[in-house]
């Protein structure tokens, strides 16, 4: 392990978990990641290994069979995993968000029913807000749920579900007008439904179709799908938390911890790009010396290392703030924004250091170059992060009088 991106003040348990994950990443993920990614192949063996390590239950409380660890431990594990292959961190991320939403907002029956099986990885989560016509503007959601006896009947089309095919539990945000007076604010007429389904594609249950994988430029291996609901019946006891109208706030709570997670991914991918760049720069010779001895390349390495260190520090700060029970939306937004921008820049510099070989599919940096842009978009784009950061700063620094 290099000097960069170390975290002070970890417990022995945290250090032990991280060492185990790092060893797994070095032995089981890095050697196969690029080949699997090029084939767009789901990493079944890696997922089985993660289950054995207990990573699907890392933050699930011990009473439900999880490890009951903190957001910081989780984020540091995600950083390690993304250093190996970002797609694998995507497989865990939506699972983690759904488990977190259940833990925070679920009824006792929902927690008892889902969390023990989520801790083992038997039940795997996906979460779904985006639609073909909207992503940033969640308040414009059009998918609808209408009460019919003991069920709700769901209709609408969802877009961009990470793990849409492989998951067996999807948290879906729909509009519900039932029980709300006329003129209710859009945010207060949304509900999260917990939809259980079989993994796979096509019609996975009556009224629910997962059409197939969306072809992507990067972030391959993990499946990203649409989801079509056409008269899908969901029992009323599968409304998250048991009451309608709270879905927007539940999803935003999930996305907030998801942002720390995306920041951690950015840190991991940037670290790997730095490792590849600093290694190549010492092996490649031009004009009679290793390119690392040219000042222009040293300056790149200096900038890359500084960005890796800064992004890591902000990500750790955001996670610790949440763990201490404080509001962390400002810190999470800043960490997500900075880590994803720096990740893109560090990856680009590592790519430039590789010269022409960076353009070859034989070199790992080619994969990283296609993966980094996803972080600029997922869990809220850079523009949306800046809106959140700007609003919060104005709240904090409001002029009196
Ligand atoms: C690979 C992948 C996986 C994903 N996984 C999931 C998932 O699991 N679940 C899920 O629900 N969603 C998922 N998403 C969707 C993702 O959250 C959205 O793509 C993202 O929120 C942006 O929404 P959009 O694509 O509709 O862009 P838009 O909202 O249409 O934005 C387009 C552009 O306009 C900018 N913009 C929008 N509004 C404003 C404004 N008010 N001011 C300034 N600029 C603005 C945006 O920043 C962006 O640059 C995934 C996306 C991808 C690519």
Q: What is the CATH number of the domain that holds 186?
A: 2.40.110.10
Look up the domain containing 185 and give its range. Answer: 125-245
Nearest residue by C-alpha to atom 25 in ligand 1: 135
- Long-range pairs for 21-29: beta carbons < 8 A, 24 or more residues apart: 21/53, 21/55, 21/77, 21/80, 21/81, 22/80, 24/49, 24/50, 24/53, 25/80, 25/81, 25/83, 25/84, 26/84, 29/81, 29/84, 29/85, 29/88
Closest atom of ligand 1 to 136 CA is: 29
Confidence of residue 1 (pLDDT cuts 50, 70, 90): low
Q: Is residue 4 part of a domain?
A: no
Q: Do 290 and 316 share a domain, yes or no?
A: yes
d(CA 131, CA 72): 31
252 in contact with ligand 1, CB cutoff 6 A: no
d(CA 150, CA 233): 10
Q: Is residue 258 part of a domain?
A: yes
Is pLDDT above 80 for 327?
A: yes
Q: Which residues are catalytic?
A: 379
Q: Do 235 and 295 share a domain, yes or no?
A: no
Q: Do 228 and 257 share a domain, yes or no?
A: no
378 in contact with ligand 1, CB cutoff 6 A: yes
Q: Do 204 and 231 share a domain, yes or no?
A: yes
Q: Is residue 332 part of a domain?
A: yes
Q: Do 187 and 84 share a domain, yes or no?
A: no
User: From the CA of 65, how far away is ligand 1's center (Å)?
Assistant: 34
User: From the CA of 134, how far away is ligand 1's center (Å)?
Assistant: 7
Q: Do 144 and 113 share a domain, yes or no?
A: no
Q: Do 269 and 366 share a domain, yes or no?
A: yes
207 in contact with ligand 1, CB cutoff 6 A: no
Q: Do 236 and 276 share a domain, yes or no?
A: no
For residue 26, give the CATH number of its domain: 1.10.540.10
377 in contact with ligand 1, CB cutoff 6 A: yes
User: From the CA of 202, how far away is ligand 1's center (Å)?
Assistant: 25
162 in contact with ligand 1, CB cutoff 6 A: yes
128 in contact with ligand 1, CB cutoff 6 A: yes
Confidence of residue 179 (pLDDT cuts 50, 70, 90): low
Of 95, 136, 163, 251, the one to substitute when testing ligand 1's pocket (max ligand atoms within 8 A of C-beta) is 136
Which tens digit of pLDDT belongs to each residue from 210-242?
999 999 999 999 999 999 999 999 999 999 999
d(CA 151, CA 233): 6
Closest atom of ligand 1 to 173 CA is: 11
Give the total number of structural domains in the chain. 3
Q: Do 357 and 258 share a domain, yes or no?
A: yes
pTM: 0.96
User: From the CA of 17, how far away is ligand 1's center (Å)?
Assistant: 33
Domain endpoint, select from 195, 225, 245? 245
248 in contact with ligand 1, CB cutoff 6 A: no
Is pLDDT above 60 for 378?
A: yes
Q: Is residue 115 part of a domain?
A: yes
Q: Is residue 1 part of a domain?
A: no
114 in contact with ligand 1, CB cutoff 6 A: no
Q: Do 70 and 159 share a domain, yes or no?
A: no
Domain endpoint, select from 90, 120, 150? 120
Mean of pLDDT values over 283-292: 98
Mean of pLDDT values over 193-198: 98
- Residue 182: the pLDDT is 60
Nearest residue by C-alpha to atom 13 in ligand 1: 160
Q: Do 379 and 278 share a domain, yes or no?
A: yes
Secondary element (H or E) of residue 349: helix 329-353
- Residue 185: the pLDDT is 75
d(CA 118, CA 110): 12
Closest atom of ligand 1 to 130 CA is: 11
255 in contact with ligand 1, CB cutoff 6 A: no
Confidence of residue 256 (pLDDT cuts 50, 70, 90): confident
- Residue 181: the pLDDT is 58
Q: Is residue 6 part of a domain?
A: no
Which tens digit of pLDDT belongs to each residue from 6-17?
999 999 999 999
User: From the CA of 378, how far away is ligand 1's center (Å)?
Assistant: 7
Q: Is residue 2 part of a domain?
A: no
d(CA 385, CA 383): 5
For residue 265, give the CATH number of its domain: 1.20.140.10
Q: Is residue 401 part of a domain?
A: no
Q: What is the mean pLDDT of the chain?
A: 95
User: Above pLDDT 90, what percent of the chain?
Assistant: 94
Is pLDDT above 90 for 184?
A: no
User: From the CA of 141, how far away is ligand 1's center (Å)?
Assistant: 13
User: Above pLDDT 70, what percent of the chain?
Assistant: 98
Is pLDDT above 60 for 180?
A: no
Q: Do 56 and 168 share a domain, yes or no?
A: no
Domain endpoint, select from 225, 245, 265? 245
């Amino acid at each position: 392990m290099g000097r960069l991106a170390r975290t002070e003040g970890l417990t022995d348990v945290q250090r032990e978990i991280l060492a185990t994950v790092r060893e797994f990443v070095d032995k089981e993920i890095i050697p196969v990641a690029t080949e699997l990614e090029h084939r767009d192949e789901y990493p079944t063996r890696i997922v089985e290994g993660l289950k054995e390590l207990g990573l699907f239950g890392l933050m699930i409380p011990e009473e439900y069979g999880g490890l009951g660890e903190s957001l910081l431990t989780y984020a540091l594990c995600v950083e390690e995993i993304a250093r190996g292959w970002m797609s694998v961190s995507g497989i865990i991320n939506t699972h983690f968000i759904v488990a977190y939403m259940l833990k925070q907002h679920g009824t006792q029956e929902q927690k008892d029913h889902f969390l023990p099986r989520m801790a083992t990885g038997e039940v795997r989560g996906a979460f779904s807000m985006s639609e073909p016509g909207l992503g940033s503007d969640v308040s414009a959601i059009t998918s609808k749920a209408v009460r019919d006896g003991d069920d709700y009947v769901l209709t609408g089309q969802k877009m961009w579900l990470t793990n849409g095919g492989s998951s067996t539990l999807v948290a879906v945000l729909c509009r519900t007008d039932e029980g709300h007076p006329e003129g209710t604010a859009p945010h207060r007429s949304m509900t999260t439904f917990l939809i259980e389904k079989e993994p796979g594609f096509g019609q996975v249950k009556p009224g629910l179709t997962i059409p197939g994988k969306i072809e992507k430029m990067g972030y391959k291996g993990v499946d990203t799908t649409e989801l079509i609901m056409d008269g899908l019946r969901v029992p009323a006891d599968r409304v998250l938390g048991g009451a309608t109208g709270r879905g927007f706030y539940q999803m935003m709570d999930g996305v907030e911890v998801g942002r720390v997670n995306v920041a951690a991914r950015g840190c991991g991918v940037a670290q790997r790009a730095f490792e590849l760049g600093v290694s190549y720069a010492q092996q490649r010779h031009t004009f009679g010396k290793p390119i690392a001895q040219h000042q222009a390349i040293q300056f790149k390495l200096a900038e890359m290392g500084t960005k890796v260190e800064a992004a890591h520090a902000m990500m750790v700060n955001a996670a610790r703030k949440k763990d201490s029970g404080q509001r962390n939306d400002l810190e999470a937004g800043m960490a997500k924004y900075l880590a994803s921008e720096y990740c893109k820049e560090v990856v680009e510099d590592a790519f430039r250091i590789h010269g022409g070989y960076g353009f070859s599919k034989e070199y790992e940096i080619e994969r990283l170059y296609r993966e980094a842009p996803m972080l600029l978009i997922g869990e809220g784009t850079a523009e949306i992060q800046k809106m959140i950061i700007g609003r919060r700063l104005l709240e904090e620094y409001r002029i009196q009088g």
